[in-house]
A and B are shown apart, each in its own frame.
Chain A
Amino acid sequence: MADKILKKLNIKVWRQNNAADKGRFETYTIDNISGGSSFLEMLDILNNKLILEDKDPIAFDHDCREGICGTCSLFINGRAHGPDEDITTCQLHMRKFKEGETITIEPWRAASFPVIKDLVVDRTAFEKILQAGGFISVRTGGVPDANSIPIPYEDVEESMDAASCIGCGACVAACKNSSAMLFVAAKVSHLGKLPQGRVEAKQRARSMVSKMDELGFGGCTNTRACEVECPKNISITHIARLNREYLTARLSE
Chain B
Amino acid sequence: MSSFLSASIGKKFIMSVSGLFLVLFLAVHLVVNLLLIFDDSGELYNVAANFMSTNPLIRTIEPVLGLGFLVHILWSFILEYNNWKARPVKYNKKNKSATSSWASRNMLVLGGIILVFLVIHIINFYWIIRFNPHEMNSITIGGEHMEDSYTLVADLFKHSLVYNIFYILSAILLGFHLSHGFWSAFHTLGWNNENWMNRLQIIGKVYAVIIAVGFSVIPLYFFIKF
Binds A, one of B3-11, B24-32, B112-120: B3-11
Q: How many residues of A contact B (CB 8 A)?
A: 50
Residues 160-185 (chain A) with a chain B CB within 8 angstroms? 174, 176-179
- Measured between beta carbons, the chain A residues less than 8 angstroms from B194 are 235, 237
CA distance A25 to B91 in the complex (A): 12
Take A221-B107, A243-B187 as given contacts and tell me if A77 and B95 are in contact as well, using a CB distance cutoff of 8 Å: yes
Q: How many residues of B contact A (CB 8 A)?
A: 45
CA distance A237 to B86 in the complex (A): 23
Minimum Cβ distance to chain B for residue A16 (Å): 10
- Measured between beta carbons, the chain B residues less than 8 angstroms from A104 are 92-93
Contact B86 A112 (CB under 8 A): yes
Take A106-B93, A241-B190, A243-B9 as given contacts and tell me if A177 and B86 are in contact as well, using a CB distance cutoff of 8 Å: yes
- Measured between beta carbons, the chain A residues less than 8 angstroms from B50 are none
Contact A216 B99 (CB under 8 A): no
Minimum Cβ distance to chain A for residue B77 (Å): 13
Take A176-B83, A178-B87, A220-B8 as given contacts and tell me if A240 and B99 are in contact as well, using a CB distance cutoff of 8 Å: no
A90 within 8 A of B: no
Contact A176 B105 (CB under 8 A): yes
B94 within 8 A of A: yes
CA distance A111 to B4 in the complex (A): 23
Minimum Cβ distance to chain A for residue B100 (Å): 4
A217 within 8 A of B: yes
Contact B184 A225 (CB under 8 A): no
Select which of A75, A209, A228 is within 8 A of B7 by beta carbon. Answer: A209
Residues 78-111 (chain B) with a chain A CB within 8 angstroms? 79, 82-96, 98-101, 104-105, 107
Q: Mark A18-56, 1 if CB is under 8 A from B, else 0.
A: 000000010000000000000000000000000000000
Contact B101 A223 (CB under 8 A): yes
Select which of B1, B92, B107 is within 8 A of A106 by beta carbon. Answer: B92
Residues 59-107 (chain A) with a chain B CB within 8 angstroms? 75, 77-79, 83, 104, 106
Contact A217 B190 (CB under 8 A): no
Q: Max chain A CB contacts within 10 Å: which of B94, B100, B180, B191?
A: B100
**Smallest Cβ-Cβ distance to A216: which chain B residue:** B86
Binding site for A on B (CB under 8 A): 1, 3-4, 7-13, 79, 82-96, 98-101, 104-105, 107, 180, 183-184, 187-194, 197
User: Can you name 10 A-B residue pairings with CB atoms under 8 Å?
Assistant: A78-B96, A178-B83, A213-B8, A222-B104, A222-B187, A225-B96, A225-B99, A240-B190, A240-B191, A247-B190
